[in-house]
Structures are given as structure tokens and as C-alpha cells.
Amino acid sequence: MLQMKHTLRTICLFTLLITSASWLGTLQKDTLQQSMKRGEEVYATSCANCHMPQGEGVEGAFPPLAKTVYLKNQKRAIDIILHGQEGEIVVNGKTYNVPMAAMNHLTDQQVADVLNYVSNTWGNKNPMIKPVQVKTARK
């Protein structure tokens, strides 16, 4: 009898451990889709006024984000948001030279989210950026 009680208690503890571990797992897992969804809102308030709602930009002034190669290099993309971008650049065969101000008032999470959104929308496809990468680039 005592033996059975002991076994039961072990099983209970074990089950509890497994359920809490998988529960924690779902809490911690931030998918690209979730990040992009948050990023879509950041884009609408912080980027769309220049880069346009569909990332098409404005010729001669604001370069497009749709199909741009500038998002291929994660470090470069993060730097553009945190430190701004100045000087002549060529995007999709057209030249632009209007400075973009740094947007370092955005949180690490917001920068990661907005980049995940623009890097995986309008025909772009890139690996997920994590907030810790933004944190490192801030210094």
C-alpha cells in the first residue's frame, strides 16, 4: 500500500513537471508570425509615411522596402533603424540621397518586430531577427 502511494506520488510529480515545462515552452516561443504581426503596427506608425503602406517608396525621395537588398544583411538593417542612413544609395536600380533619421527611440523588441515585418513582406524573405541582436547593435 505504502509502495503504491509512493508510485502514485512520483507519477503525479512527473506529470506536473512535464505539463509545466511544455507550458513554459509555449510562453517563451515567439514565432516569426507573431513578431511580424506586432511589426506591422510599428510599420504603420513609424515607417509607412515615408516608405509607403506597401513598401513601394516614393521615387526620388524615399526608397522602396519591397524587394530591397538592404534587408538581406541583418546587421546593416538594424544599423539603419538605430543609427539612420545618409549618403547616396541605389535601391532596385534607382538612386536615392535623402537622409533617414535614426529611430533609436524604438525598443529592441519594436526594431526586431518591424524589421521582421518588412523583411518578410512584399516578396521579401529573410531569417528572424531577435531583440538581443538589436541590443548588441545599440552600443
Where along the sequence are the contacts to ligand HEC (CB under 6 A)?
46-47, 49-51, 62-65, 68, 70-71, 77, 80-81, 85-87, 89, 91, 96-100, 103, 114, 118
- CA dist 40 and 31 (Å) reads 14
**Closest separation in Å from C-beta 125 to ligand HEC:** 15
**Closest separation in Å from C-beta 104 to ligand HEC:** 10
Output 36 or 71, the one with its CB closest to ligand HEC. Answer: 71
Q: Which residues contact 29 (CB under 8 A, 6 or more apart)?
A: none
Judge residue 52's burial from the number of C-beta atoms within 10 Å of its C-beta, 0-12 exposed, 13-18 middle, 19 or more buried. Answer: middle
Output 16 or 87, the one with its CB closest to ligand HEC. Answer: 87
Q: Give first-to-last CA distance, the chain, whole Å.
A: 63
